[in-house]
Chain A
Amino acid sequence: MQRRPSAFNANAAEALLDADLQRALGAAEAGFGLKRRKAITGLPEFDALCDQAASIKDHVLDNLDIYLERFEAQVFASGGMVHWCEDAQAAREIILKLCQSVNAKMVTKGKSMVAEEIGLNPFLEANNIKPVETDLGEYIIQLADEPPSHIIGPALHKTKDQVSDLFHAHHPALGYPERLSEGEALVGEARAILRRQYLQADAGITGANFLIAETGSTVIVTNEGNGDMTQIFPRMHIVIASIEKIVPTLEDAATLLRVLARSATGQEMSVYTTFSTGPKRRGDADGPEQFHVVMLDNGRSELLGGNQRDILRCIRCGACMNNCPVYMAAGGHAYGATYMGPMGSVLTPHFSGLKAAQALPFASTFCGKCEAVCPMRIPLPRLMRDLRAEAHAARITPARERLWLALWAWVAGRPQLYHRLSGWGLPVLKFLARGRGRFAWLPLAGGWTRTRDFPAPPGKSFMAQWAARKKPGS
């Protein structure tokens, strides 16, 4: 599997031959779909909530500068610091500096896609700081040395047997020689190992699902409680978040939380929803001594004024990929990028450049399910179509495809010629089919006939037959 978006087609072909991956995807597709449907059926006002959630985010995007400043002021007032980072490198460097300021040798991490986006782990490792992932899925793929294949289920591509093998390869050195195979036992072992890490960590790094402007709070949702321990025990808590995660008020965060878990895992709420406001105060029993929020732009502010702005409403629930036939066939690694599925196919071109990522906006059948399930009303097919148009206009789509399209459009734009050509071509195809009704192979149609027969046409088009019928006397 190549980690570049341009390899999507080859990656997908490889993924389709991976029986373990296909089994894992099959289970995920059925599970996510059923749970989401159940959760939504149980909340009649879900649609209205989605409209409200989308309009909260639209309002934020209209007034982003104001809310960002308010957030910073509130973080400062509660004793924390905000660090503004224009790009990934700036974010990595400030996080490293913060870690070095407390002589960090090891840091625990809650799940964060923004940390993936900036490539934080390899950078910390290269600077002699060991990051320990504490989300179970992230912990599994850290052992496997793989990137997440799904934004909320990073190890979704792994089967239980593969996890068992992985633990048995790594855990004996930590004092757990026995091979485990039951899910509960595997979780228990990972938990026991991670518990020790929380107390030894010099800093804890988490992401943020929301940032609340009125209070300067950051919010995370988890199902394992790992995020709480990551941010409470070490001396320093570093939050890494992107600028569009901001919401005006606690009330707004509550509205978004109501659609988030239902869309993501089909839960009414995640098991833990944790609000962090500043460092430990005088009299607090626990909490970090320092609280830092690293705010990443990384090209997002450029999206604000353009036709792709709607993607900034995304709250990373994963519903678009859970309901995407392409994602569920190819898996997340095929996209060769941090973000995958429909939302990733829109975001990746903005991070990697359209030229490098132009395969992704085309990796959709435009079935529209992603838009139908998106709680933030993001018109994902329209955004992908606009990226296709941009790629076409920049002439960076494959030359052969552009040529075919131009030829088709040219002929279809000349109706008389079009109907004359079909009058010549169809009898030839009919003759070649020799009554079998289909072709196993056709010149220039390998993309179709490699896996499918091509239905043979009758010898005359409808338009030609219709014209003949209408002639007087016939």
Chain B
Amino acid sequence: MPPANPHVALFVTCLIDLFRPSAAFAAVKLLQDAGCRVSVPELQTCCGQPAYNSGDKAGAAALAAQTIRHLMEYDYVVIPSGSCAAMIKHHYPPLLADDAARAVAEKTFELTQFLHDVMRYRPAVKTDEKLTYLDSCSGLRELGIQAQPRALLQSPILENDDAESCCGFGGTFCVKYTDVSTAIADKKLNKFAATGAALVTGGDLGCLMHLAGRAARRGMALQFRHVAEVLAGDMDIPAIAGGDK
């Protein structure tokens, strides 16, 4: 039985807050539709992952402690990003080594995982776009997210034979090692294009921005949207890196 009317904190993530608010609005809509009471803690910023993966453990720990403080009082913490969710779920406890971090980690979920596994939710909307799915590595390997978004989408996914490999984003890696990052993106984009899909959707905005930016530079016709928008049927806003028209 899914929990009745749980109080959920949406941790928006800094990338979605700044660059793709529509994904957060879609997440709110989905959570409410699934029967949750949604709050957005006002003082949230960044989970600290860039600092953590760049070796600044003290900086990461400070942001982790701040984030934990704002998320403690809710039944669940839901995040429309696999890598930020994995940061809180798997990396906060060893980083902070305290009970609060462990308690928040315990109740933290990635959005599709939460909707599917905890709320047993099925969205009312189905898209008729030719879809393919970008499994981001943290979600896939650290949280085991693979079946959930596919089940929620309820539309046939045009899969490729290399769905489990990285898109080359890697956080700060994508600007530190631009050439390698781009080469990996190109491999991924070619695989996606070969499926005949028109729309790439996925649960991590960083990966999506990186691929959308590269596809735009290459003049590819592929479009990119966060999975929350597709699930909520919010298809009228421009795709990532797409213009107003």
Mark A residues whose CB is within 8 Å of B. 8-9, 12-13, 16, 325-326, 329-330, 362-369, 371-372, 385, 387-393, 397, 401-402, 405-406, 408-409, 411-413, 415-416, 418-419, 422, 426, 435-438, 440, 445, 447-448, 450-458, 460-463, 465-467
Residues of A within 8 A of B198 (CB): none
Contact B18 A457 (CB under 8 A): yes
Q: What chain A residues lie within 8 Å of B48 (beta carbons)?
A: 409, 412
A409 touches B51 (CB 8 A): yes
- Whether A330 lies near B63 (C-beta < 8 A) is no
- Chain B residues in 8 Å Cβ range of A435: 243-245
| Interchain pairs with CB closer than 8 A, number | 204
Contact B142 A329 (CB under 8 A): no
Query: Within 8 Å of chain A (Cβ to Cβ): is B160?
Result: no
Q: Which has the most chain B C-beta neighbours within 10 Å: A406, A440, A454? A: A454
How far, in whole Å, are A435 and B245 apart by their CA atoms in the complex?
Answer: 8
A-B contact pairs, 8 of them (CB 8 A): A325-B165, A389-B57, A415-B45, A416-B43, A418-B45, A438-B241, A455-B241, A467-B42
CB nearest neighbor in B for A410 = B59
A452 and B137 contact, CB distance less than 8 A: no
Q: Which residues of A contact B55 (CB under 8 A)?
A: 385, 387-393, 397
Binds A, one of B96-104, B107-115, B149-157, B172-180: B172-180
Q: Residues of A contacting B170 with CB < 8 Å?
A: 364-367
On chain B, the residues within 8 Å of A453 by CB distance are: 212-214, 216-217, 241
Q: A369-B164, A452-B214 are in contact. Are A461 and B17 (CB under 8 A)?
A: yes
Q: Is B2 an interface residue (CB 8 A)?
A: no
Selected from B18, B173, B243, the residue in CB contact (under 8 A) with A461 is B18
- A401 and B19 within 8 A (CB): no
Q: Does A422 lie within 8 Å of B18, measured CB to CB? A: yes
Determine the distance from Cα of A466 to Cα of B21 in the docked complex, in whole angstroms.
Answer: 9
Is the CB–CB distance between A463 and B56 below 8 Å?
A: no
The 5 closest A-B pairs by CB, nearest first: A365-B170, A447-B175, A392-B55, A388-B55, A452-B213
Residue among A363, A422, A426, A451 making CB contact with B217, cutoff 8 Å: A451
Task: State the Cβ distance, A114 to closest chain B Cβ, in Å.
Answer: 28
Q: Residues of A contacting B175 with CB < 8 Å?
A: 445, 447-448
CB distance from A462 to the nearest CB of B (A): 4
Closest CB of chain B to A361's CB: distance in Å? Answer: 8
The answer to whether A369 touches B19 (Cβ under 8 A) is no
B173 and A362 contacting across the interface, CB-CB below 8 Å: yes
Q: A437 — which chain B residues lie within 8 A by C-beta?
A: 238, 241-244
| B192 contact set on A, CB distance < 8 A | none
CA distance A398 to B59 in the complex (A): 17
What residues on B are CB-neighbors of A452 within 8 Å?
Answer: 182, 185, 210, 213-214, 216-217
Closest to B142 in A: A368
Check B127 for interface membership: any CB of A closer than 8 A: no
Closest to A362 in B: B176
Quick one: which of B146-196 are within 8 Å of A by CB? 164-166, 168-185, 187
Which residue of the partner chain, among A365, A440, A467, contacts B169 with CB atoms under 8 Å?
A365
A409 touches B168 (CB 8 A): no
B46 beta carbon closer than 8 Å to chain A? yes
Chain A: minimal CB distance from B154 (Å): 26
Query: What residue in chain A is nearest B208 (Cβ atoms)?
Result: A455
Output the least CB separation between B110 and chain A (Å).
Answer: 15
Q: Does B120 reach chain A (CB closer than 8 Å)? A: no
Given A366-B170, A385-B53, A401-B176, check contact A461 B21 (CB 8 Å).
yes
